[in-house]
Homo-oligomer: A and B are copies of this chain.
Amino acid sequence: MSGRSHEEGLKDLTLLGNQHTQYSFEYAPEVLEAVDNLHSNRDYFVKFNCPEFTSLCPMTHQPDFATMYISYVPDQKLVESKSLKLYLFSFRNHGDFHEDCVNIIMNDLIQLLDPRYIEVWGKFTPRGGLSIDPWCNYGKPGTKYEEMAHFRLMNHDLYPEKIDNR
């Protein structure tokens, strides 16, 4: 089987293919791991669809649920998908407002990857008949990606999806 080899970044991974994974359900940004981006000569997007996100409400300690969409233009590093899964698991018993969760996730990925561009959208299920969908983004300061971040903010969500709480 040809394809990406150990020389191209697989040998450093501790999680993918490791059977005896430990799961932390307390906020654990340290589980995040990166692999080399083999295509850093070009700008391209990678999107993660994460419909199984759950955290706790900081006031009531009641579970919250969301679909997280994480999308970025990598620079030298890609986030390894199994480590991202474990990182998102670690919010399971963590309490924060919806607006805080998306900002924290984006901050941690900026720290890990130093990406050219990144955005995170959390779409939560309703409490009391209202649902909240915070969205944040970031472009590397002083580069064209900073302008790209403003451009995408300007154009964000002109077409809110149809919601009926069912």
- The reply to whether B47 and A132 contact each other, CB–CB distance below 8 Å, is yes
- The reply to whether B129 and A51 contact each other, CB–CB distance below 8 Å, is yes
Task: Considering the complex, give the chain B residue whose CB is closest to the CB of A88.
Answer: B130
Instruction: Name the residue in A5, A78, A164 with the highest tally of chain B Cβ atoms < 10 Å from its Cβ.
Output: A164
Q: Please, how many angstroms separate the alpha-carbon atoms of A92 and B2 in the complex?
A: 11
Q: In chain A between 11 and 29, which residues have their CB closer than 8 angstroms to a CB of chain B?
A: 13, 16-21, 23, 25-27
With A54-B54, A59-B17, A154-B151 known to touch, is A126 a contact of B49 (CB < 8 Å)? yes
- The reply to whether A160 and B96 contact each other, CB–CB distance below 8 Å, is no
A82 to chain B, nearest CB (A): 6
Q: Count of A residues near B, CB < 8 Å?
A: 97
- The reply to whether B37 and A99 contact each other, CB–CB distance below 8 Å, is yes
- The reply to whether A133 and B27 contact each other, CB–CB distance below 8 Å, is no
- The reply to whether A123 and B61 contact each other, CB–CB distance below 8 Å, is no
Task: Considering the complex, give the chain B residue whose CB is closest to the CB of A97.
Answer: B4
- The reply to whether A136 and B49 contact each other, CB–CB distance below 8 Å, is no
Q: Please, how many angstroms separate the alpha-carbon atoms of A50 and B129 in the complex?
A: 7
With A26-B2, A39-B103, A100-B38 known to touch, is A153 a contact of B81 (CB < 8 Å)? no
Chain B residues with Cβ below 8 Å from A4 are 58, 95-97, 100
26 contacts between A and B (CB under 8 A): A3-B27, A3-B100, A10-B58, A16-B60, A19-B20, A35-B97, A42-B138, A44-B103, A45-B134, A45-B135, A45-B153, A45-B157, A48-B131, A49-B131, A50-B129, A50-B130, A51-B65, A52-B63, A54-B54, A81-B127, A92-B92, A125-B126, A125-B164, A125-B165, A155-B158, A157-B158
